[in-house]
Amino acid sequence: MPPSPPAQPGDAVAAIDTPALVVDLDAFERNLDLMSNAVRGSGLALRPHAKSHKCPEIARAQVERDAIGICCQKVAEAEVFVDAGIRDVLVTNEIVGAGKLRRLAAIAHRATIGVLVDDAGSVAELSAAATAAGATLDVLVEVDVGAHRCGVPPGEPAARLATAIARAPGLRLRGIHAYHGAAQHLRTPAERCDAIAAAVRDAAASRAAIEAAGIGCAVVTGAGTGTWQHERDSGVYTELQPGSYVFMDADYGRNALAPDQHHFEHSLFVLTTVMSVAVRSQAVVDAGLKALAFDSGPPLVYGAPGLDFRRASDEHGVVAVTDTAIAPRRGDRLWLVPGHCDPTVNLHDWIVGVRGETVESVWAVAARGALA
Ligand SMILES: *Cc1c(COP(=O)(O)O)cnc(C)c1O
């Protein structure tokens, strides 16, 4: 059983116990609306990535705003979302291991389930799992469009793998997965534009090679919060997968935007309490390594440029006071914008939704720790 939530609906924001993961619902809903309005009418499908939030209520809010389904990274995440009623889930990952493949095929009886491959050996394993379960799995060829993590090279290698998938019983070739993860945090608009222009060329060449082999390639899917406008306007992609836009972390806040690029708001915070001011020029808060992810740098102290989150240990965060006019006192509460939203969410059991000064919702991070 997870520990009890840090608040209940109807509580005052001032009464939320800390540290707590808090969403500003007004900013969060504006982010959801901004993305769905910007994709609506483009002819592209929106399939947000749920690894950012791991929360069925948020997935439902996305589906209510025209998302055709969601992406997950892990089979265990997909199981949580299918159990919660999401009917179309793409696992944007290669899945290896008989047990996992059995579980993947099992949920394909209850929802449309897609998965990626970048190896012919996977095709045979997926086909065996699907036919043993009497299920059909949607399969996409992962193409390396510049991130150099997973994926076959563009063009002919993608067509060879697509041909194998199209012939395999129990599998339905849907198209290609062309996500350029390494482009998302390139800081200038020009760098991101160039990286995605190259990815679009690679995706187009792969689709052309697949079609030249006489196979349909209906889906070209990819994009994240840093680049989605480029994929949307590419004429090649058919589906967009942004995830972090719902929350906007401090790292994404460091991306420079071109004038025609949409700005999402910070909606996710770790609310924390000042425990100690015993050492001069610093405040120590109750959120450290177990409440915040630091892989993309420390959190920002929201609305307080004179406070600089310097370092963390397990349960302590040390905030330097660079402007003594705003020196926090013991018991004060600070709102921290996490450096990286996805791994921060995974540290919490609950998301407390606030509107103004009142707690409106308390959602379970139901896929927390769903790593398998
Ligand atoms: C993480 C991820 C996304 C979403 O990226 P954000 O930067 O969170 O918007 C999309 N697609 C894939 C395959 C991912 O791994």
State the closest ligand 1 atom to the C-alpha of 92, by its place in the atom list counted from 1: 13
User: What is residue 41's predicted lDDT score, i.e. its pLDDT?
Assistant: 93
Closest CA to 181 of 34, 314, 369, 342: 342
State the closest ligand 1 atom to the C-alpha of 252, by its place in the atom list counted from 1: 7
Task: Give me the residues of the chain with pLDDT under 70, please.
Answer: none
Helices 189-212 & 156-167, crossing angle to 10 degrees? Answer: 50
Q: Which residues have any ligand 1 atom within 6 Å of their CB?
A: 49, 51-52, 71, 92, 179, 181, 184, 224-225, 241-244
User: What is residue 3's predicted lDDT score, i.e. its pLDDT?
Assistant: 87
Cα-to-centroid distance, 281 and ligand 1 (Å): 39
Nearest CA to ligand 1 atom 13: 92
State the closest ligand 1 atom to the C-alpha of 241, by its place in the atom list counted from 1: 10
- Coil, helix or strand at residue 63: helix
Cα-to-centroid distance, 222 and ligand 1 (Å): 8
User: What is residue 2's predicted lDDT score, i.e. its pLDDT?
Assistant: 79
Diameter over CA atoms, the chain: 72
Instruction: Give residue-wise pLDDT tens across range 46-67.
Output: 999 999 999 999 999 999 999 9
User: What is residue 83's predicted lDDT score, i.e. its pLDDT?
Assistant: 98
Angle at CA of residue 133, ends 80 and 82, nearest 5°: 15
Instruction: Give residue-wise pLDDT tens across range 316-353.
Output: 999 999 988 889 999 999 999 999 999 999 999 999 99
User: What is residue 343's predicted lDDT score, i.e. its pLDDT?
Assistant: 98
State the closest ligand 1 atom to the C-alpha of 52, by its place in the atom list counted from 1: 8
Which residues have C-beta within 8 Å of that of residue 366, sequence separation ≥ 6? 54, 55, 56, 80, 84
pTM higher than 0.85: yes
Cα-to-centroid distance, 89 and ligand 1 (Å): 14
User: What is residue 325's predicted lDDT score, i.e. its pLDDT?
Assistant: 85
Ligand 1 pocket test, pick from 49, 143, 149 with the greatest ligand atom count within 8 Å of Cβ, gives 49
Class of residue 287 by CB neighbours under 10 A (exposed 0-12, middle 13-18, buried 19+): buried
User: What is residue 15's predicted lDDT score, i.e. its pLDDT?
Assistant: 98
Nearest CA to ligand 1 atom 5: 224
